[in-house]
């Protein structure tokens, strides 16, 4: 049913910092007012909790990666649409070894990572690339805020994590980045997703989200004093400074122009990526304990093609709102 | 008319019979001393008079009417310890009962009512000899002063029956003598019936008008559970003491009050 | 002379008081020096200069983004949550604890349930909590309440039950109703004990506060610690931890002082 | 009759005991039914059937990946850590607590420091702990020790100090040395109190265990809860939380039973 | 030879002078009763004899040698309460001292040593009339039995001086009479000097060979802090009692022992 008040959750990560900046600087209010709605933007320190809250219905939209969107809300029966494809990771996620020069050295080690996260996926893809599998290593679940500290302990010799931890860890003596997401470009995608039903009933909400996003990233990506100030503010909000933030940004392929994002989602590569992802999730039993195959959940791509079960489409990639932004029709 | 009537009362705790078939009539304004070996059920009996426990069989009447099943302001009590409220001052403790009675919502009074109660309380504090200690807390008083305070507190309610459970057992002998004098005076002046449990025969003889001894008559181990205590002695003191009257024979303020012949009771009742 | 009978003099006591703190500081300085020599960029044990710098930045320089003095705004946010959480817990403990302690019927109904609830690990139920209470202040305060209130309730009901039965009977002979017994006999006597329990729960309350702020917040002491933890900024974490400890110690002292001021008789009681 | 004097009968007591639990279950079932109607795949409040299914899978079916029965292997891992942590805490409390309680010199040296340490929020110091102790079992056990030991030490030293001075003097007149006073007079009398403090620390110990396992582990009850939290599998979290609560309640009862068995006189003492 | 010598002893707590210039010679095997009003420093004096407190000025000699500065096995003590260890059985309490003395490492003995100590302990338990209660814990004993136990425990060490601080103050009168008989017998049989603090003049007169009264001579409020208590009375009983001998005049097992004339002491010293 149509409504006026919407809640958006975001968590602290380089690709999502614009949401906090937009809320702080009034961009959110500007766009909400334009469509006669209100949007409450809530910051989470804990990424998983933000997705859980969205899945449980407490929020209308949330920032999430493509993989987690499939494994958490979609597998939890919440029909979810990706409104904005903000960026993909091009180095933000990495496999780091202590005392090892190449990825092959990882064989037989304990690998510390957040289990079932994109790090886990990255590890699987990395091992794949050198003909190994997860059987060749032992995974130890480790909480993301503690990665930097954990890496300095003697018994940790291999780690998969993301920024800002990666940039802290590679500065440590003995740390070598042996694989990162730039080697699987476009596979780890950072999205803003919304509940499909809510979006269908309130297209204005989707338009407002797109408006906010592109307004903000335009400022942020610009090489002006305002742009620098925005990046500094985002850096401070994520606990670092402007330089640290720009480091992280450099490892992120940000779609500052809506047309680029549209191009990305409509390319056939997305289907290939999602197939990889769902295969990985099915392997780990994350598509539901009784799932017979990776096809249980249908993934709709822009244009209407469906990957998997067409009767159970729960994740949809849409170019509608980004296209409106690209066309200046917001 | 009889103040207290106890009719064929039994008290059992589970399988254990504590009191067996107690019948008793206590005249108004009597001062009954209850003695007996430890564990024979004196406190239990007092608790039943108070309404804190119910008899298993039999019944207890107060002025002819059955006793209400819970303690109330017509029966006052002074225990050996825990008799005053540690969080109230002396004045607060003495005013407590009347304040509760006057204010059912807050338990506090203000203005004229309060002044009236306070005045009564100060008079009572004077009666028991605690003037000057009004603002002290019980923990700042000696044991003897605490028991005086407990008496004053109970008397403020003008109970028809005052129940005392070894009230002076914890006191030093000197202080005990003082408080005996006080107790006797209060009993003479306030219209009430007193029942006092004591371990001290001397105390019983120097205060009471009547002494009742509880005892188990069967004491073989295997019988202990099955048979309770009964009244084994019921001595009315001679010369009789009557409340409000000073008899010629009033002995207990004379130096000879401790004449051993008077309290050479049969051994075993004082344990 | 036996060691048990040897009492250090005034001066020696003072020195001994400070000794372990001094040792801790020295150990830190040595560890810090060693690590910084090996890696001048080491963040685990920052030097005193770095620490002082950070404290100055957090406490006395306005944050460029928000214009706040971060340490103070974090403290204000956290203390507000803490007060609210402890206040609600105390109120709950007073009402429920007294009911349980006073009325046999309530005791039968609630005591086993409270005993059970006090054993539930609150952190594991965080997701539910956030969904029911939302992410605002409510859920953070609720976590403190859930963690602290059952213990307070149990303590309070136990100390209400520990009052000698004789006092209750005595109050009845002074014409008190159940309500008046609760209000005028039991309540004033358990309040000092409640303050003491509250002191003991200050530590756990801070713990739950930090845990809640770690999930979702945009200010607060726990929020800051978890935010900078990703960068292992121990130069922020150490001062914050020290500051939290100091706050807890001050709170502890203040509550005890309040107890002694407001309930002078409770001190006498203990002295007997 | 006043409410304070109304005692429910045996049967009524039993019914009242169960009432809040029954209400809780009914509330859950209603909530679950409502949510499942809106979204049959809802994971927040799974149906009883789903819960039973999951319990069966976790407890009685081997995990396809490792071949373990997950609930039992998690329980074993967690209980081991818990026992180790509580054991070390108890040992520390015995040694340090007795020293503080017994010797004025140690009291002057350690008491203020322990009071300070007990106020430090342990979760905030986790990074240090991990770096010092490594990511293995040691750091998880250490977190429990850091969280629990200061409280136990303080409790124990207070109860050692609370022993009447007359007993110590008496022991001296019976030719006891400081060592013998500690061993034969103070230690046996504080042990029952130690067990009681330990019971009260079971809840916090589980809390710290879960927090530590959430940081880094590959098995354990807390690990599983935080792992499945990633996809909001409340059908796993609820049974695990209930199981942890049950374990804590059982532990509580066992320790109390042990106290009464091993120190029969401590019961008598209380009964007086 | 003199057992205990107190030479010009002062005791001050901060500014408050508690005891002022006490000098005293106590003969070996004397039984000294110490009386005086509450707070006059009786317990403090006993504590100094015990070595638990040090005199501010002056010194105390035991058989001519200065008193060690801490309690030791040559001086036994029985307090009004807290006198036995609640975690040990009756037998354990009585064996405790000898076991500690025999085993400095563990405080426990085994084998032959243990049997020897246990035998002595059982004899002592018999002496004080506690046979049959060997396996009970103190909390299972009545107050009188606990004090007997405390006596037995102290006597096992064969102290040269036995110090008693109101040891029977908490007991019922009947029980107190029993224990007085026991106390007298033990004093006759065991070679020791006894110093007993009591509030009860009757007790003092029925047990002691010598009664010493402490009192403050200046009692104006502003003087209370500045002047301590001194010895105001020092009565050697007549006919003299001598340990180990039964005199013809031994009165306290006769029925007339409570003759009031004997204890009509000046008022004010009993509290
Ligand atoms: N609530 C109770 N439940 C079971 N037994 C009880 C209860 N109260 C008292 N008794 C038992 O009843 C008997 C009488 O106890 P009571 O306290 O009345 O004795 P008493 O004569 O007052 O003894 P004392 O002189 O020691 O105070 C005792 O054997 C006691 O164990
Ligand atoms: N450790 C202490 N510090 C300060 N003052 C003390 C100390 N111990 C005792 N006093 C004071 O010394 C005085 C004598 O106390 P003490 O206990 O010796 O009296 P007492 O004669 O034994 O009294 P009672 O008959 O009440 O036992 C009291 O005024 C008391 O307050
Ligand atoms: Mg009784
Ligand atoms: Mg004394």
Task: Please state the rounded mean pLDDT for residues A26-50.
Answer: 89
Q: Which residue has the tokens 């084994």?
A: B232
Architecture of domain C60-269: Orthogonal Bundle (1.10)
Q: Which residues surround ligand 3, an ion (CB under 5 A)?
A: B 43
Residue E94 three-state SS: helix
Which chains have 3 or more CB–CB distances shorter than 8 Å to chain E? Answer: B, C, D
pLDDT at E117: 95
Each residue's pLDDT tens digit, C226-251 = 888 877 788 888 999 999 999 999 99
Is it the case that residue A90 has pLDDT exceeding 70?
yes
Residue E265 has pLDDT above 70, yes or no: no
For residues B45-67, give the mean pLDDT: 91
Q: State mean pLDDT over B174-202.
A: 85
Task: Give the DSSP letter string of D122-158.
Answer: GGGGHHHHHHHH-SSHHHHHHHHHHHHHHHHHHHHHH
Res. A171 pLDDT band, cuts 50 70 90: confident
pLDDT at B110: 93
Chains touching C (3+ CB pairs < 8 Å):
A, B, D, E
- Shortest Cα–Cα distance, C157 to chain E (Å): 27
Q: How confident is residue E113, by pLDDT bands cut at 50, 70 and 90? A: very high
Q: Does C216 sit within 8 Å of A49, measured CB to CB?
A: yes
Tell me, using a 6 A CB cutoff, whether residue B267 lines ligand 1: no
What's the pLDDT tens digit per position in A217-243? 999 988 899 999 999 989 888 878 888
Question: How far apart are the CA of E82 and the nearest CA of chain D, in angstroms?
Answer: 6
Which residues, other chains included, contact A85 with Cβ-Cβ below 8 Å and sequence gap of 6+?
Answer: A189, A190, A191, A255, A261, A264, A265, A317, A322
pLDDT at E182: 87
Mutate to test the interface with C, among E50, E54, E70 (most CBs of C within 10 A): E70
Residue D160 confidence (pLDDT): 92
E69 touches chain D (CB under 8 A): no
Is residue E239 within 8 Å of E249, Cβ to Cβ?
yes
> Does E71 score more than 50 pLDDT?
yes
CB-based contact B73:B159 (threshold 8 Å): yes
Ligand 2 atom 4: residue of nearest CA? E13
Model confidence band, residue D266 (pLDDT cutoffs 50, 70, 90): confident
Q: Which of E52, E98, E107 to mutate to test the interface with D (most CBs of D within 10 A)?
A: E107
The rounded percent of chain B whose pLDDT value lies above 70 is 84
pLDDT of residue E223: 66
- With CB atoms and an 8 Å threshold, state whether E157 touches D180: no
Q: What does the domain layout of chain E look like in residue ranges? A: 4-74+159-263, 85-142+151-158
At the fourth CATH level, the homologous superfamily of domain E4-74+159-263 is P-loop containing nucleotide triphosphate hydrolases (3.40.50.300)
- Point out the least confidently predicted range of B13-17, C86-90, D87-91: B13-17
**Average pLDDT, integer, range D205-216:** 88
**Residue written as token pair 């006043």:** D2
**Are E107 and D184 a contacting pair at CB < 8 A?**
yes
Bridge pairing between strands B31-35 and B210-216: parallel
Q: Do chains E and B touch (3 or more CB pairs under 8 A)?
A: yes
Predicted pLDDT at C110 = 93
On the CB side of C105, CA atoms within 13 Å amount to: 7
Q: What is the pLDDT of residue B270?
A: 35
Chains C and B touch (3+ CB pairs under 8 A): yes
Measured CA to CA, the distance from residue D223 to residue D215 in angstroms comes to 8
Q: Which residues of E216-236 are buried (b: 16+ CB within 10 A; e: fewer)?
A: beeeeeeeeeeebbbbeeeee
Residue B192 sits at the vertex; the CA angle it makes with B190 and B197, to the nearest 5 degrees, is: 115
Instruction: With CB atoms and an 8 Å threshold, state whether D166 touches E83.
Output: yes
Q: Answer for the pair A172, A262: CB distance below 8 angstroms, yes or no.
A: no
Mean pLDDT of chain A: 89
List Cβ neighbours of A45 (8 Å cut-off, separation of 6 or more).
Answer: A11, A12, C213, C214, C215, C216, C217, C223, C226, C227
Name the helix (H) or strand (E) containing D267.
Answer: helix D264-271
> Which pLDDT value is given to residue E269?
35
Chains C and E touch (3+ CB pairs under 8 A): yes
Residue that the structure tokens 């939302």 belong to: C134
What pLDDT, in 10s, does the model give residues D33-77?
998 888 787 778 889 999 999 899 889 988 877 788 889 999 999
Residue in C98, C86, C59, C99 with CA at minimum distance from that of residue C147:
C86
CA-derived radius of gyration, chain A: 19
Identify the band that residue A10 occupies on the pLDDT scale cut at 50, 70 and 90.
Answer: very high
Q: Which residues of chain B does E174 touch, with a Cβ-Cβ cutoff of 8 Å? A: 199, 270-271
Q: Which residues of B touch D1 (CB under 8 A)?
A: 69-70
Helix (H) or strand (E) holding C248: helix C234-262
Whether a cis peptide bond, with omega within 30° of 0, leads into E225 is no
Write the Ramachandran bin of B129: left for phi over 0, alpha for psi from -120 to 50, otherwise beta.
left
With b for 16 or more beta-carbon neighbours within 10 A and e for fewer, the B192-213 pattern comes to bbbbbbbbbbbbbbbbbbbbbb
> Which residues are CB-neighbours of E115 under 8 A, at least 6 positions away?
none
**Digit-coded pLDDT (tens) for D148-204:** 999 999 999 999 998 888 899 999 999 999 999 999 999 999 999 999 899 989 988
The subunits that touch chain D, with at least 3 C-beta pairs less than 8 Å apart, are A, B, C, E
Question: Is the CB of residue D38 less than 8 Å away from at least one CB of chain B?
Answer: no
Structure tokens at A316: 């949809």
- pLDDT, position E78: 93
B41 lines ligand 1 (CB under 6 A): yes
Shortest-distance atom of ligand 2 to CA E38: 25
Average the pLDDT over E96-107 and give the result.
93
CB D168 within 8 A of CB C4: yes
Q: Which atom of ligand 1 approaches the CA of B46 most closely?
A: 18
d(CA D219, CA D78): 8
Higher pLDDT, E109 or D233: E109
Secondary-structure breakdown of chain A: helix, strand, coil percentages, each rounded to the nearest 5: 45, 25, 30
Name the band, by pLDDT with cuts 50, 70 and 90, for residue B271.
very low
Q: How many residue pairs from chains B and C have C-beta atoms closer than 8 A? A: 79
Measured from the CB, is residue B206 less than 6 Å from ligand 1?
no
Overall average pLDDT of the C54-65 stretch = 85
Q: Is the Cβ–Cβ distance between A254 and A263 less than 8 Å?
A: no
Ligand 2 atom closest to Cα of residue E41: 18
Contact B270 E202 (CB under 8 A): no
Q: Is E58 left (phi over 0), alpha (psi -120 to 50) or beta?
A: left
Is pLDDT larger for residue B110 or for residue C138? Answer: B110
Segment C32-40 shows an average pLDDT of 88
- Answer yes or no: is pLDDT of B255 > 60: no
User: Inter-chain contact E107–D271, Cβ cutoff 8 Å?
Assistant: no
Interface test with C, best of A12, A45, A72 (most C CBs within 10 A): A45
Give the Å distances, CA to CA, from E122 to C159, E83, E153: 42, 19, 11
Integer Cα distance of B258 and B44 in angstroms: 30
Q: Which of B79-83, B255-259, C198-202, D28-32 has the lowest mean pLDDT?
A: B255-259
With a pLDDT cut of 90, the percent of chain C lying above it is 56
Q: How many angstroms separate the CA atoms of A71 and A247, rounded?
A: 30
Paired tokens of A204: 């204005």
Predicted confidence at residue B224, as pLDDT, reads 63
C-alpha E221 to ligand 2 mean position (Å): 17
What pLDDT is attached to residue E219?
63
pLDDT at B268 over 50: no
| C-beta atoms of D170 and E87 within 8 A | no
Give me the total of CB pairs closer than 8 Å, taking one residue from chain C and one from chain E: 5
- The bound ligand whose nearest atom lies closest to the alpha carbon of B36 is 1
Task: Select from C8, C123, C204 the Cβ nearest to the Cβ of D105.
Answer: C8
The partner residue sitting opposite A46, judged by closest CB among C64, C134, C216, is C216
- Could you give the 3-state DSSP secondary structure of residue D220? coil
Instruction: For chain B, give the secondary structure using H, E and C.
Output: CCCEEEEEEEEEECCEEEEEEEEEEECCCCEEEEECCCCCCHHHHHHHHHCCCCCCEEEEEECCEECCCCCCCCEEEECCCCCCCCCCCHHHHHHHHHHHHHCCCCCCCCHHHHHHHHHHHHHHHHHCCCCCCCCCCHHHCCHHHHHHHHHHHHHCCCCCEEEEECCCCCCCHHHHHHHHHHHHHHHHHCCCEEEEECCCHHHHHHHCCEEEEEEECCCCHHHHCCCCEEEEEEEECCCCCCCCCCCCCCCCCCHHHHCHHHHCCCCCCCC
Q: What per-residue confidence (pLDDT) applies to B222?
A: 64
In this structure, what are the phi and psi dihedrals at residue B54, rounded to the nearest 5 degrees? -105, 145
Condensed to tens digits (0 to 9), the pLDDT of residues E158-210 reads 899 999 998 887 676 667 788 888 888 888 888 899 999 988 788 888 889 99
Nearest CA in chain D to C223: D124
Q: What is the pLDDT of residue E163?
A: 94
- Most confident range, picked from A1-5, A89-93, B237-241, E259-263: A89-93
Q: List, as ranges, residues 66-85 from D with C-beta within 8 Å of C.
A: none
Q: Report whether pLDDT(D108) > 90.
A: yes
Residue scoring higher pLDDT (C25 or D130): C25
Q: Tell me whether chains A and C touch (3+ CB pairs under 8 A).
A: yes
Ranges of each domain in chain C:
3-45, 60-269
Cβ atoms within 10 Å of C3's Cβ, excluding its own: 16
Question: Residue E232 to residues B42, B54, E59, E229: CA-CA distances in angstroms?
Answer: 44, 56, 20, 9
* Confidence band for A147, pLDDT divided at 50, 70 and 90: confident
The per-residue pLDDT for B260 is 35
pLDDT value for B168: 84
Q: Looking at the complex, does the CB of residue C3 fall below 8 Å from at least one CB of chain E?
A: no
Contact D215 A75 (CB under 8 A): no
Whole-prediction pTM: 0.84
Encoding tokens for residue E249?
A: 């005049």
Residue B31: alpha-carbon gap to chain centroid:
9
Q: What percent of chain C has pLDDT over 70?
A: 98
Q: In the predicted model, is pLDDT for residue A106 greater than 50?
A: yes
| Among A113-127, A261-275, D57-71, the least confident range | D57-71
pLDDT at B219: 63
Q: Which percentage of chain E shows pLDDT scores above 90? A: 38
Nearest atom in ligand 1 to B199's CA: 25
Look at the block and give the residue holding tokens 């295997």: B222
pLDDT at A178 over 90: yes
C-alpha angle B165/B171/B173, rounded to 5°? 120
pLDDT for A57: 84
pLDDT of A330: 79
């Amino acid at each position: 049913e149509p409504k006026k008040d919407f809640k958006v959750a975001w968590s602290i990560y380089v690709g999502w910092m614009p949401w906090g900046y937009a809320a702080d600087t009034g961009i959110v209010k500007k766009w909400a007012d334009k469509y006669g709605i209100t949007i409450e933007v809530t910051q989470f320190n804990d990424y998983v909790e933000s997705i859980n809250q969205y899945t449980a219905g407490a929020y209308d939209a949330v920032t999430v990666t493509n993989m987690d969107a499939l494994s958490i809300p979609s597998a939890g029966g919440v029909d979810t649409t990706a409104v904005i494809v903000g960026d993909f990771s091009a180095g933000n996620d990495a496999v780091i070894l202590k005392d090892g020069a190449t990825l092959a050295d990882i064989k037989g080690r304990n690998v510390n990572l957040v289990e079932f996260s994109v790090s886990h996926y990255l590890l699987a893809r990395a091992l794949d690339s050198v003909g190994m599998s997860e059987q060749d290593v032992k995974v130890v679940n480790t909480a993301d805020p503690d990665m930097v500290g954990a890496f300095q302990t003697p018994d940790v010799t291999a780690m998969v994590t993301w920024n800002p931890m990666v940039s802290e860890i590679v500065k440590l003596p003995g740390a070598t980045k042996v694989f990162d997401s730039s080697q699987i470009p476009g596979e780890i995608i950072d999205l803003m997703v919304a509940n499909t039903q809510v979006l269908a009933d309130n297209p204005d909400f989707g338009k407002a989200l797109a408006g906010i996003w592109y307004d903000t990233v335009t400022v942020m990506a610009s090489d002006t004093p305002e742009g620098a100030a925005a990046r500094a503010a985002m850096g401070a909000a994520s606990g670092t400074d402007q330089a640290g933030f720009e480091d992280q940004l450099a490892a992120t392929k940000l779609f500052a122009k809506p047309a680029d994002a549209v191009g990305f989602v409509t390319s056939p590569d997305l289907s290939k990526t999602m197939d990889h992802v769902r295969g990985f999730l099915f392997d780990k039993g994350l598509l539901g304990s009784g799932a017979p195959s990776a096809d249980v959940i249908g993934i709709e791509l822009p244009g209407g093609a469906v990957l998997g079960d067409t009767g159970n489409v729960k994740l949809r990639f849409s170019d509608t709102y980004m296209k409106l932004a690209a066309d200046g029709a917001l | 008319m009889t103040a207290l009537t106890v009719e064929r009362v039994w008290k059992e705790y589970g399988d254990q019979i504590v009191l067996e078939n107690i019948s008793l009539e206590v005249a108004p304004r009597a001062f009954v001393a209850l003695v007996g070996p430890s564990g024979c059920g004196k406190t239990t009996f007092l608790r039943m008079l108070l309404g804190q426990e119910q008899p298993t069989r039999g019944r207890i009447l107060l002025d002819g009417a059955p006793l209400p099943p819970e303690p109330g302001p017509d029966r006052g009590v002074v225990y050996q310890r825990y008799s005053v409220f540690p969080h109230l001052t002396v004045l607060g403790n003495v005013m407590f009962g009347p304040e509760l009675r006057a204010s059912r919502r807050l338990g506090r009074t203000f203005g004229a009512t309060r002044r009236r109660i306070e005045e009564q309380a100060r008079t009572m504090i004077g009666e028991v000899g605690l003037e000057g200690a009004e603002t002290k807390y019980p923990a700042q008083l000696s044991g003897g002063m605490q028991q005086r305070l407990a008496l004053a507190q109970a008397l403020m309610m003008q109970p028809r029956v005052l129940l005392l459970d070894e009230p002076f057992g914890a006191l030093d002998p000197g202080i005990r003598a003082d408080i005996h004098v006080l107790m006797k005076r209060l009993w003479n002046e306030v219209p009430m019936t007193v029942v006092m449990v004591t371990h001290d025969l001397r105390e019983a003889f120097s205060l009471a008008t009547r002494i009742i001894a509880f005892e188990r008559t069967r004491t073989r181990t295997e019988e202990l559970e099955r048979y309770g205590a009964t009244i084994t002695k019921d001595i009315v003191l001679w010369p009789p003491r009557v409340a409000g009257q000073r008899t010629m024979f009033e002995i207990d303020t004379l130096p000879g009050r401790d004449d051993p012949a008077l309290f050479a009771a049969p051994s075993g009742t004082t344990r | 002379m036996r060691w048990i009978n040897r009492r250090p003099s005034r001066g020696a006591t003072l020195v001994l008081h400070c000794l372990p703190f001094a040792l801790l500081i020295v150990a830190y300085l040595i560890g810090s020096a060693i690590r910084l020599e090996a890696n001048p960029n080491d963040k685990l044990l920052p030097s005193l200069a770095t620490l002082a710098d950070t404290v100055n930045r957090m406490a006395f320089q306005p944050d460029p983004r928000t214009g706040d003095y971060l340490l103070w705004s974090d403290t204000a946010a956290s203390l507000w949550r803490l007060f609210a959480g402890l206040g609600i817990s105390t109120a709950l403990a007073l009402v429920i604890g007294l009911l349980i302690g006073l009325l046999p019927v309530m005791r039968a109904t609630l005591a086993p349930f409270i005993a059970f609830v006090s054993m539930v690990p609150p952190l594991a139920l965080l997701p539910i909590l956030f969904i029911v209470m939302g992410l605002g202040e409510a859920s953070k305060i609720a976590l403190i309440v859930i963690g602290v209130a059952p213990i307070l309730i149990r303590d309070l009901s136990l100390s209400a039950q520990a009052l000698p039965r004789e006092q209750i009977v005595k109050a009845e002979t002074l014409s008190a109703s159940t309500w008046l017994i609760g209000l005028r006999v039991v309540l004033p006597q358990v309040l000092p004990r409640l303050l003491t329990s509250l002191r003991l729960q200050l530590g756990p309350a801070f713990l739950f506060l930090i845990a809640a702020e770690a999930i979702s917040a945009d200010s607060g002491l726990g929020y800051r610690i978890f935010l900078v933890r990703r960068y292992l900024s121990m130069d922020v974490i150490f001062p914050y931890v020290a500051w939290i400890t100091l706050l807890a110690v001050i709170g502890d002292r203040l509550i005890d002082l309040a107890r002694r001021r407001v309930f002078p008789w409770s001190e006498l009681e203990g002295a007997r």
